[in-house]
Amino acid sequence: MRPSSVVDEDVRQTLHTAARALLERLPALTDELVSRTRGGDAVYCACVPYDEHWKSTLEGVRQGITAILQEPSERRDLVFTASMAQRRAEQGLPLDSLLRMYRLAGQVTWSAIVEHMERERPERLGVLVRAAGHVWHAIDRQSMVACDIYGRREQEILGRSQERVNALLDALLDGTADTGVVRTAAAALDLPERGRYAVVTVRFPRHHDVRLPATLGAMRLMWRMRPAHEVAVVALGQATLDELCQELSLIVSGVAGVSPVVEGLDQVRSAHDLASLAMRTCVDGGPEIARLDERVPAVLMISQADVTGHLVDGALGRLLALDPADRDTLLTTLETWLACDGSAARAAGRLFCHRNTIINRVRRIEQLTGRSLTRPRDIVDLALALEAVRLLGSER
């Protein structure tokens, strides 16, 4: 049995002989590897220009074969591998394509070594079998380094890209985007400057983990986090607000505000403001979706607090001064009576009391408020004041 040192020396000498021979065939090996790589991978062709691919492959093959002649501590091919992995990540080449290239490089290199030894030193083929592990180990090391460096660079690129997207969304939502920024945002987000958009604001319950969707049906959503809620710029396409709200109802467990439709990215700021106001009309934890076009009176009241206070004091001041139980009974009766379009019988059915009880309560409400529930203008005052109490509380 031969000593292991003799076996190792046989392997080393065999590989060195083959490596020196392959260095004289670099252009041919490069042609073969480039052809096989590009022939089976259209993405590689799209991401990496041919001339650059050929030159980098030539250097990569040179470095890989030269590594056979070097001590393990001198693996300069790994430095080149790292630089190329970073470059390919920057070019957008998928990692699968990059790793496939290294597998092909291993096949081309090993086949060339075997062919040379069969032709020039057939008596060394037995030793060459034992050398296979060394060659493929070198290729594996290159693949591992490429994978690691590629992953790091990809994360850096994605992070910077997302930072830019976030900055552009902030500019649109905050109204700091001029015409140039709007145009840049449209290009970066792959959106038309003029198109149908809405803005959605969502406040989820605390400790509620939800995956924010990038699409709802045919609609695209671009999310941005705010301190107390989430905001989405929605590219509606041909979808309606009804369809948007229907899709939102499947994911919103808290409260949401939906703006009207606007006709361009330059109007996203105003849409954001209106969606935020609509969300403020939700008085509890939800689930509830508030469309501004369905909450205009409520939005007017919460955005004009001083005027709303005068309206409430003038219309409901004496009623609100009653003891809590009496006050709440009359407020509930007024709300139900309005919801039933002034039908005492229907209101009585909802409140499980006699029709005459409703009539007596309505008369008392009229006495306390000084408004008539048969006069349209007075009904408007009372309905708005009641909505303000719902939103702002009865104790101010």
Q: With a cut of 80, say whether residue 44 has pLDDT above it.
A: yes
Q: d(Cα 362, Cα 374) in Å, to the nearest integer?
A: 11
Tokens of 367: 């006495």
Following DSSP, what letter does each residue of 34-66 receive, concatenated? HHHHHHT-HHHHHHS-HHHHHHHHHHHHHHHHH
Contact yes or no for 258/368 (Cβ under 8 A): no
- Return contacts of 373-380, CB within 8 angstroms, 24+ apart: 373/337, 373/342, 379/338
Q: Which has more confidence, 395 or 315?
A: 315
Q: d(Cα 214, Cα 153) in Å, to the nearest integer?
A: 24
Per-residue pLDDT, averaged over 350-369, amounts to 94
Q: d(Cα 292, Cα 245) in Å, to the nearest integer?
A: 12
pLDDT tens per residue, range 196-205: 999 999 998 8
Q: Among 329, 353, 350, which residue's Cα sits nearest to residue 341? A: 350
Q: Which has more confidence, 379 or 164?
A: 379
Q: d(Cα 330, Cα 22) in Å, to the nearest integer?
A: 97
Average pLDDT over the chain, rounded to an integer: 86
pLDDT tens per residue, range 73-112: 566 788 889 999 989 988 888 889 999 999 999 889 888 8
Q: What is the pTM of this model?
A: 0.57
Contact yes or no for 199/272 (Cβ under 8 A): yes
Neighbours of 136 (CB within 10 A): 13
